[in-house]
A and B are shown apart, each in its own frame.
Chain A
Amino acid sequence: MADECILRFENVSMHFDGDDAPALDRVSFNLMAGETIVLFGAAGAGKTVLLKLAVGLLRPVSGRILLFGRDVTELREQEWYAMRARAGILFQEGGLFDSMTIEENVSYPMLNQKLVEIAPEEVHRRVEEVLQFVGLPQTMDKFPSELSGGMRRRVGIARATVTHPKLLMYDSPTAGLDPITANRIIALLIKERELRNTASMIVTHRFQDGHMLATFRYNPQTDKVLEASPEQREKLHTRFFVMKDGRLVFEGTEEELDKSTDPYISKFTMQRV
């Protein structure tokens, strides 16, 4: 793992007007290059707020956020557009543009981000390549409404990764999906993480997702995701966070998470099958 800090939160708090409790309460952490953070938490714990703060879709009320080494806490919206070109995000509902075809959706960041300079003839090839990567090469001309939930999520991953960002954030990529599709999506995240050495942050409710991210690795020779040996697991650099009521209440490895006796934290490990 490189020493480059991709994302840094320093005592970040967030409060929405009309709410009594803060949505995020003095949260601090570092996300290093090549590292994976798996974020657990009950609904309303502040996971999505944390992701949105990281890419400037929300502004914190206090604290400091550093993205790629730059203080982005007070960044103007216009300046954010360039910063966001280096970060990909998958939204909870996919966030696909429903009036655009899958090809238009996936090519959107390449055609609209200022910092991304890709020749127009190259765009189509890149879309084909990334849709092949997520296993949906036949969907180019379809609209999002014609695809299943799992397929839409995979298109969302394709769109988030098409410009090869150094930071990828996934908001509940497996929520509401059957176990087979969910495992397929996590396998894609593992593949993307290892092929491009991206820093990733994954919000999920399923312990299995975190377990897979911490213990499986991609084998480029066989193009399959396989269980890693104990030595290889250390190189996967996967950490687990648990959030409760806007606070980060746990930070550690899968083993430490397993050993936790806190009733709230252990609820997430009890889902293990």
Chain B
Amino acid sequence: MFDFLKPPVLSFQEYLALAGRATQNVVRRPFYGQDVLLQMDTIGVGSIPITILIGFFSGAVMALQMSRALAQYGASGEVGKITAITLVRELGPVLTALLVAGRNASGIASELGSMKVTEQIDAMRALGTDPIKKLVTPRLIALCIMLPLLTVLADFIGLFGGYMVGVPLLRLTTGAQYWMSSYQSLEFNDLGQGLLKPFVFAYIIASVGCFFGMRTTGGTQGVGRATTQAVVVASVWIFVIDIVMTRIFLWIAT
């Protein structure tokens, strides 16, 4: 009767096994430091330009939208506060994670998928290397380090975008007040979720991308399918985990 549930449950079980082994390998020898650095460069440094772009425009549009709503209450001066809270708590982590998921979950899945269908993963195993240790763990570590840093960058650039709209463009407030209210509005709880969320999202993006890459079958068409699935599944899980974490942090704050 519930046979239709078997494939997704089995897939989830396989995902947990892969993610578990990749996580265990973080503290197990041998360590592939060079591979971690290479992935940090590819995934992290490579994502900086697009992070700056998205961060700036999300901050700017947030300030633009808020300007009208705040003006109704005569609170235009609070634009820095609203932009900072929204960016640090939600928009920064989620938008950066979605961006990195689109760029890197697909990249990871297609790279590992191509290696799988051309027998390179089997060759790696046959040559005495654990592909999870050599391929999955370095990507997991690299993303978990780089995504929080990219999020901090996106937050700051977003605040700058909000400043550009709120101060020189719409003259809602003064520069000093904008930065002061932004700074004062943020609490440790906000910073906590602003940094913890990207860490968890990074884990999801790397593990989901690697999972779909490592189970690729069916030649180049299979690689395309794995890539699409990796981006869709990682994006959905980012939203699901986001609401769960937000609820937890709100509960802690009260």
Contacts and interface: CB of A to CB of B under 8 A. Distances in A.
Contacts of B134: 112
B128 A112 contact: yes
Interface stretch (B64-72, B74-82, B116-124, B195-203): B116-124
A91 B123 contact: yes
A78 interface: yes
B130 A95 contact: no
Contacts of B120: 95-98
Contact of A84 (B114, B115, B119, B128): B128
Contact of B129 (A52, A56, A81, A96): A81
Contacts of B128: 81-82, 84-85, 109, 112-116
Interface in B127-147: 127-130, 134
B118 A81 contact: no
Contacts of B115: 97
A112 B122 CA distance: 15
B127 A91 contact: no
A95 to B, nearest CB: 3
A193 to B, nearest CB: 19
Interface string A72-99: 0000011011101101010111111110
A121 B156 CA distance: 48
A109 B130 contact: no
Contact of B118 (A80, A82, A95): A95
B125 interface: yes
A55 interface: yes
Given A95-B120, A97-B120, A98-B120, A89 B130 contact: no
B119 A93 contact: yes
Given A94-B119, A113-B129, A114-B128, 7 more contacts: A57-B125, A81-B130, A85-B128, A87-B126, A92-B119, A93-B119, A112-B128
Interface of A: 52, 55-57, 77-78, 80-82, 84-85, 87, 89, 91-98, 108-109, 112-116, 159
7 contacts: A52-B122, A84-B128, A89-B126, A95-B118, A97-B123, A108-B127, A112-B129
